[in-house]
Amino acid sequence: MKTPPLHTACILATGLFILGGLSSCNTSDTTLPPDLRTTVYRPAKMKPIDSVQTLKVGDKAPAFTLPAVKGGKVSLADYRGKKNVVLSFVPASFTPVCSKQWPGYNISLDLFKQNDAELIGIATDGIPALHAWITLMGGLDFKVLSDFWPHGKTASDYGILRGDGTSERAIVVIDKKGIIQYIKVFDINKRPALDDLASILNELN
């Protein structure tokens, strides 16, 4: 049985019914969790993409082992032969678009599970900053890893480290053999639509 598109659940979560799927992020304070409305940093519009992509579909995914906000370390190798992996890279904690993107995934986790996929969030912030941010968002039910030190190494290995030391807003889907099946860098100023991701996960499953 085909799972419903991921973007449908995310639209319901945010109350944004946009023809054609979830598109650019609404920056209204009312769509942020209450504790974040006066806390988020609002950067000026940034260069949409500031890296040169070095990986493509069919490449072996670079290995990584990173500390998790909830403790311990997580390696890509932990999922080899067991689960597909979806990596969601975001630029920075305490920013409006990121503060809406990851909470939107929380109610879609069953769709990842149904497609035998593990969702993992990665940012170049340190553990304390990520912990504080996630707490203010009301918690996240998927693993979040810190690519702080060596700074941005994983983002760099995936070809998505920006010139300012943050990562691009990117999604990477890796199959159980460790091969990249989907990789896309999105406009950093907008929340990604998830239509393509839903289709890829259904195909892998």
CA dihedral sign, ordered 131, 136, 140, 146: negative
Going through the chain in order, the beta strands assigned E by DSSP cover: 65-67, 73-75, 84-89, 117-123, 143-146, 169-174, 180-186
| Whether the bond into 150 is cis, omega within 30 of 0 | yes
CA dihedral 135, 50, 55, 143 (to 10 degrees): 0
Q: Are 150 and 175 in contact (CB under 8 A)?
A: no
Neighbouring residues of 79: CB distance < 8 A, sequence distance ≥ 6: 85, 118, 174, 176
Inter-residue contact 160 to 53 (CB < 8 Å): yes
Active-site residue (options: 97, 98, 130, 170): 98
10: annotated active-site residue: no
> What are phi and psi for residue 183, nearest 5 degrees?
-150, 125
Structure tokens at 96: 């409006």
Give me the active site residues, please. Answer: 98
